[in-house]
Amino acid sequence: MFTGIITDIGRIAERVDRGAAGDRLFLVETRYDTGTVDLGASIACNGCCLTVTDKGRDGRVRGFWFAVEASQETLSKTTLGDWQAGTRLNLERSLRLGDELGGHLVYGHVDGVGRIAARRPEGGSLRFTIEAPETVAKYVASKGSVAIDGVSLTVNEAAGNSFGINIIAHTQQETTFGGLQPGQAVNLEVDMLARYVARLLGRDEL
């Protein structure tokens, strides 16, 4: 479980295909001291909860690194299939009992892949319009919460399959949002409360 508050921007150092099944291993550079990261720990990488299978600090990368693996199912249902060496990632370690919940409860289970439809300056912020699959968009509500590439954000407005968000200067610097451009794909996770309400009403399709 996570909060959607990003604590590092990592970078893909290596991508290794693993066998005929189409699974893939990623080596991620990080500022995290991997001496404090247990093997088997969960780290949200661009909003996708992944398990640490190896770690270290050696000449393979600049500084600390950890390894994660993704199945073909995960690669096909998220943006992970597009990750290449050099791809920057929003990273968050899993929530511990007693930690401050600064964003909203994020589970690291990607509901769908959206796309940046527009980006424009708005005061000191950047205004993004996100296009979401219909199965995801119906759970996104004005002033509600959504996780985009693992970042907890408040929805400005929602209409049809699109919704708008504002990214303040701090968030631009501390996440990958400062570099996102129209046309790029992003991982989306809807607020768990929206899922439960939909289930109670018999309208849950995720």
Tens-place pLDDT, residues 109-156: 999 999 999 999 999 999 999 999 999 999 999 999 999 999 999 999
Question: Is 1 within the bounds of a domain?
Answer: no
Domain that holds residue 162: 112-200
Residue finishing a domain among 43, 60, 93? 93
Model pTM above 0.75: yes
Bridge partners (DSSP) listed for residue 52:
68
**What is the pLDDT averaged over residues 151-175?**
96
pLDDT at position 43 is 98
pLDDT at residue 180 above 80?
A: yes
Question: Residue 61 above 70 pLDDT?
Answer: no
Q: Look at residues 40, 177, 59, 51 and name the one whose alpha carbon lies nearest to residue 108.
A: 51
Q: Is the torsion defined by CA of 119, 152, 94, 190 positive or negative?
A: negative
Mean pLDDT of 20-26: 87
pLDDT of the residue at 205 = 67
pLDDT at residue 204 greater than cutoff 80: no
Residue 125 inside a domain? The answer is yes
Q: What is the pLDDT of residue 86?
A: 96
Q: Is residue 105 part of a domain?
A: no
Q: Answer whether residue 23 is part of any domain.
A: yes
Give the Cα separation of 153 and 147 in Å (integer).
6
Is residue 30 a part of any domain in this protein?
yes
Residue 89 lies in a domain: yes
Identify the CA nearest to 48 among candidates 151, 194, 177.
151
CATH code of the domain covering residue 74: 2.40.30.20
Q: Which of 66, 93, 120 is the last residue of a domain?
A: 93
Last residue of a domain, one of 93, 123, 155: 93
Do 150 and 83 belong to one domain? no
**Whether residues 89 and 166 fall in one domain:** no
pLDDT at 62 over 70: no
Residue 35's SS3 state is helix
Residues 128 and 178 placed together within one structural domain of the fold: yes
Helix, strand, coil percent content, the chain, rounded in steps of 5: 15, 45, 40
Work out the average pLDDT over 171-180: 97
Residues 126 and 73 in one domain: no
Domain assignment of residue 83, yes or no: yes
Closest CA to 22 of 88, 74, 95, 99: 74
Question: Number of folded domains in the chain?
Answer: 2
